Amino acid sequence: MKDTLYIPGKETPNMPDYDSLCDKFKWENEFKNLERLPGGGLNIAHEAVDRHANSHLANTVALRWIRKDRSLIDFTYSDLKIQTSQFANVLEKLAIKKNDSVFSLVGRIPYLYVAALGTLKTGAVFCPMFSVFGPEPAFQRLSKGKAKVLITTTKLYQKKIKQLMPRLPLLRHILLTDAKQHIDEKVLSLSMLMDEAPDEYLISNTQPEDPALLHFTSGTTGMPKGALHVHQAVLTHYVTGKYVLDLQPGDIFWCTADPGWVTGTSYGIIAPLVNGVTNIVDEEEFDAERWYSILEEHRVNVWYTAPTAIRRLMRLDFKPLEKYDLSNLRLIHSVGEPLHAEEVIWGKKTFGMPICDNWWQTETGGIMISNYSSMEVRPGSMGKPLPGIEAAIGNIVEDKVQLLTKPMEQGHLLLKKGWPSMFRAYLDEEERYKKCFKGEWYVTGDLAKKDEDGYFWFVGRADDIIKTSGHMVGPFEVESTLMEHPAVSEAAIIGKPDPLIGELVKAFVVLKPGHERSEKTKLDIKGFSRKKLGPAVAPKEITFTDSLPKTKSGKILRRLLKARELGLPEGDKSTLE
Amino acid sequence: MKDEEIKATILKLLQEIAPDIDPEELGMDDNIREVFGIDSFDFLQLIIGIDKEFGITTPEADYGKITTLRSLIAYVKATK
């Protein structure tokens, strides 16, 4: 299927031809398009906000916040410069220093965006958490990330954080976004602090390799790991915003992801602002009619969303173009999990343009492989590597990479290391970090194939990590929590394929003697895990079983459980206990 | 069917999906997802459960209109 979005002569994308840009692309040339700090440093917030606030874009809307009730607040680049400077001054007053960690646990409200960018101005590290996390995932992250400050709401503090405080001795301050008064010396009103803070701030002279952002991601073993990104990552945000999302002057851009996940930070905050466009933020959760009416009312030009949402939109029983004027919409991208061919084609039928799938992960910091507006879109494919990125397929034999060069051979998806937004560490886990690299290649943990024309095709994960609604869930952290329930003897977690959310978290539970396999026990375990983990991580389904399949060394064979669940061949069982 | 019966069925379904919640916390006009912090998948399961229980078919386009107990009860009564 030959299908490019742009008709030559009608519109000119930033990348009119993929191959010719690949030939001449140099990161250092793109770097010249950033301003850098007067002292020679590089700071994400300067590139995203202050640079534009000091230019002809000062009065351009940087952030349009749509409240749940649909009322609006616009923040120009100039407004955002003032507010982020005030926030940076608040942190300075609280004696937050360079490299200290500032966390958030809050929905999509302006303070989240102000806090993220204001933190970056000071040289401290910002770590956004998904507000639907339960107390345990929040604790893991706050504790491992050595959080000094947390921005949250009174309700979330009372419900999830207060109980953790004795276990978080390093957490010095909680800033409540909705409190009118300070509660005590530790729990403060953010608006009071902001009112008192000066609105000018000299940005810390951060260097490209200084830490900036911390995003936690799940592993197969152990608790979530903190992928650390540096200020240099802004170059990837800029380049992908320009060439993949094709952001152009005057554009209205909407990334539907929550900043609690890496997409919502890289593309829900940084990339659109670095590219000087207007960024839409909707406080509300998914609602099909609301989303279409936002696209219409705000004349969105470029829309970056996720397969889970696209599948929900596909359930609607009307044709959106008959009901809504979406004539401003020029480009739709999707990320989070692979977009099936039928979903790409549905986009073509529904909006007159295929939905461009792309691939990346927390560790890569930005889009690495993508379908592009000016290149033939192959439905079901991940697309081709971003200019400046080298991707390959390979086997790992005796700890070394052997590249596979024949078309459609399946192997590990590899990226040549050294791109600007590559993670620089797993926080305090040097060995775990080193294990991700084999020679000059970063091993992504995903399996893929490459066709004869250089398009990549996603196959699956090389490990047991579950991808649910586009988010990674590590089986170990869920199993550990289930084991804390008094009735549970053993537990194993798998991702059960689901037509809407990719995979749902499913638990197999072995009960301790004396506990009944009843619906009541099941609900009790489910409720217990939801309270601790939150609905985004806790199992949606629980099945009781007599025993779990294990290797001779006692490791749970999750793949065997999954094969049984799906009625598939059970594969190599030679290691079975 | 009386409002109270519909309400009891909805709360029963809700507790099966999210056994961690306390139905007492929920006022008639509260946004169910917000009060209990449930995700969109859970909410979808609730609507599917309601459809099955009351023999109705709720189109995706209506999901955004039925966010509270009061609106859900009215919706079930009007559709059934």
pLDDT for A175 equals 98
Q: Do A527 and B20 touch (CB under 8 A)?
A: yes
Interface of A with B in 135-164 (CB under 8 A): 159
Tell me, yes or no, whether A434 and A471 share the same domain: no
Does A572 fall in a domain? Answer: no
Read off the tokens for A253: 């851009």
Residue A558, amino acid = R
pLDDT for A7 equals 44
Does A456 fall in a domain? Answer: no
Given a cut of 80, whether residue A219 has pLDDT beyond it is no
pLDDT for A11 equals 65
What gap in Å lies between CA A286 and CA A301, rounded to an integer?
A: 19
Percent of chain A at pLDDT exceeding 90: 86
Residue in B with minimal Cα distance to A289 = B61
Q: Do B37 and A286 touch (CB under 8 A)?
A: no
Tell me, yes or no, whether A378 and A329 share the same domain: yes
Cα dist from B78 to B32, B71, B75, whole Å = 20, 10, 5
Instruction: Give A257's contacts in chain B (Cβ within 8 Å).
Output: none
Number of structural domains in chain B: 1
Tell me, yes or no, whether A415 and A506 share the same domain: no
Flag whether residue A390 sits within 8 Å of chain B, measured between CB atoms. no
Does A262 fall in a domain? Answer: yes
pLDDT for A76 equals 98
pLDDT for A9 equals 42
Flag whether residue A231 sits within 8 Å of chain B, measured between CB atoms. no
Of A312, A523, A531, the CB nearest to B60: A312
Of B39, B59, B60, the CB nearest to A535: B39
Tell me, yes or no, whether A275 and A397 share the same domain: yes
Best residue of A292, A530, A541 to probe chain B, by most B CBs closer than 10 Å: A530
Look at the block and give the residue holding tokens 């620089």. A424
End-to-end CA distance of chain A: 49
Q: Do A469 and B40 touch (CB under 8 A)?
A: yes
The pLDDT confidence band at residue B37, using thresholds 50, 70 and 90, is confident
Give A468-519 as a DSSP string: ETTEEE-HHHHHHHHHTSTTEEEEEEEEEEETTTEEEEEEEEEEPTT----H
Tell me, yes or no, whether A499 and A404 share the same domain: no
Tell me, yes or no, whether A266 and A385 share the same domain: yes
Supply the range of the domain harboring residue B21.
Answer: 3-79
Given a cut of 70, whether residue A576 has pLDDT beyond it is no
pLDDT for A43 equals 98
Tell me, yes or no, whether A400 and A523 share the same domain: no
Q: Angle CA(B44)–CA(B47)–CA(B53) in degrees, nearest 5? A: 140
Tell me, yes or no, whether A226 and A272 share the same domain: yes
Does A574 fall in a domain? Answer: no
Tell me, yes or no, whether A280 and A330 share the same domain: yes
**Contact present, B63 and A288 (Cβ < 8 Å):** yes
Cα dist from A102 to A94, A149, A150, A402, A508, whole Å = 11, 5, 6, 41, 37
Of A318, A469, A527, the CB nearest to B41: A469
More reliable by pLDDT, A426 or A9? A426
pLDDT for B1 equals 80
Query: What contacts B38, CB < 8 A, 6 or more positions away?
Result: A535, B17, B18, B21, B32, B46
pLDDT for A10 equals 46
**Could you give the 3-state DSSP secondary structure of residue A182?**
coil
pLDDT for A574 equals 64
Q: What is the 3-state secondary structure (H, E, C) of A421-432?
A: CCCCEECCCHHH
pLDDT for A337 equals 87
Instruction: Give A501's contacts in chain B (Cβ within 8 Å).
Output: 41
Given a cut of 60, whether residue A479 has pLDDT beyond it is yes
Q: Residue A185 is part of a domain; what is its CATH number?
A: 3.40.50.12780
Give A520-553 as a DSSP string: HHHHHHHHHHHHHH-TTTS-SEEEE-S---BBTT
Q: Do A288 and B61 touch (CB under 8 A)?
A: yes
Q: Do A501 and B38 touch (CB under 8 A)?
A: no
Q: Do A287 and B63 touch (CB under 8 A)?
A: yes
End-to-end CA distance of chain B: 10
Chain B residues within 8 Å of chain A (Cβ atoms): 15-16, 18-20, 33, 37-42, 44-45, 59-61, 63-64
Query: What contacts A426, CB < 8 A, 6 or more positions away?
Result: A225, A226, A227, A228, A432, A433
Q: Residue B22 is part of a domain; what is its CATH number?
A: 1.10.1200.10
> Whose CA is closest to A300, among A333, A271, A335?
A333
Given a cut of 80, whether residue A8 has pLDDT beyond it is no
Best residue of B15, B17, B20 to probe chain A, by most A CBs closer than 10 Å: B20
Tell me, yes or no, whether A439 and A475 share the same domain: no
Flag whether residue A487 sits within 8 Å of chain B, measured between CB atoms. no
Does A282 fall in a domain? Answer: yes
Does A5 fall in a domain? Answer: no
Does A461 fall in a domain? Answer: no
pLDDT tens for A228-284 read 999 999 999 999 999 999 999 999 999 999 999 999 999 999 999 999 999 999 999
The pLDDT confidence band at residue A137, using thresholds 50, 70 and 90, is very high
Half-sphere exposure (Cβ direction) of B8: Cα atoms closer than 13 Å: 5
Average pLDDT, chain A: 94
H helices of A215-354, in order, are 234-243, 262-265, 271-274, 288-297, 307-314, 320-323, 341-351
Average pLDDT value for residue range A457-478: 89
Does A575 fall in a domain? Answer: no
Flag whether residue A67 sits within 8 Å of chain B, measured between CB atoms. no
Of B39, B45, B61, the CB nearest to A132: B39
Number of structural domains in chain A: 2
Given a cut of 50, whether residue A148 has pLDDT beyond it is yes
Instruction: Give B45's contacts in chain A (Cβ within 8 Å).
Output: 540
Tell me, yes or no, whether A418 and A473 share the same domain: no
Given a cut of 70, whether residue A2 has pLDDT beyond it is no
Tell me, yes or no, whether A352 and A490 share the same domain: no
Supply the range of the domain harboring residue A124.
Answer: 18-444
Percent of chain B at pLDDT exceeding 70: 100
Best residue of A258, A261, A523, A529 to probe chain B, by most B CBs closer than 10 Å: A523
Residue in B with minimal Cα distance to A468 = B41
The pLDDT confidence band at residue A1, using thresholds 50, 70 and 90, is very low
Q: Residue A551 is part of a domain; what is its CATH number?
A: 3.30.300.30
